[in-house]
Amino acid sequence: MTECRESSWQVYLLKCCDDSIYCGISNDLEKRLKQHSGEIRGGAKYTLSRKPCTLVYQESAKNRSEALKREAEIKQMKRSVKLELIDSKGSR
C-alpha cells in the first residue's frame, strides 16, 4: 500500500467542453484526471458527461481537511471570481 504524504493533497479546477468549471480535490491528481477523462473508472458523473476537460488550476493543501475546506470555499465563488483565480495561476 502506498503511503500518502500530507502535502500531496491538491485542489484543482477543470474547464469542461461546455465551458463549465469543475472543482475537486485529490491526493493523486494524475490518476484523478484519468478518471475524469474516462481512461480509468471512478470519474465524476459531471465531468464524464462534459469531456474533454482541461486542468486549468491547482493548488496544494496541507492535508485532506484543508483541501476540503478550500474546495468548499472555491465552490461558493461566483464564476467570475473562479476565472480570476484561473487567470492568476497563483498558489496559496
Residue 10: its pLDDT value, please?
97
> Is pLDDT at 9 greater than 50 in this prediction?
yes
List, for residues 55-75, the tens digit of each pLDDT value. Answer: 999 999 999 999 999 999 999
Q: Is the Cβ–Cβ distance between 29 and 58 less than 8 Å?
A: yes
* Conformation bin of residue 89: beta by default, left when phi > 0, alpha when psi is -120 to 50: left
Mean per-residue pLDDT, 11-27 = 96
Residue 7: its pLDDT value, please?
53
CATH architecture group of domain 6-88: 3-Layer(aba) Sandwich (3.40)
> Is pLDDT at 4 greater than 70 in this prediction?
no
**Percent helix, percent strand, percent coil in the chain, to nearest 5:** 40, 25, 35
Q: Strand 21-26 to strand 9-15: parallel, antiparallel, or no bridges (unpaired)?
A: antiparallel
> Is pLDDT at 24 greater than 70 in this prediction?
yes
List, for residues 28-47, the tens digit of each pLDDT value. Answer: 999 999 999 888 988 888 88
Q: Got the DSSP string for 11-30?
A: EEEEE-TTS-EEEEEES-HH
pLDDT band at residue 15 using 50, 70 and 90 as cut-offs: very high
- Domain boundaries in the chain? 6-88
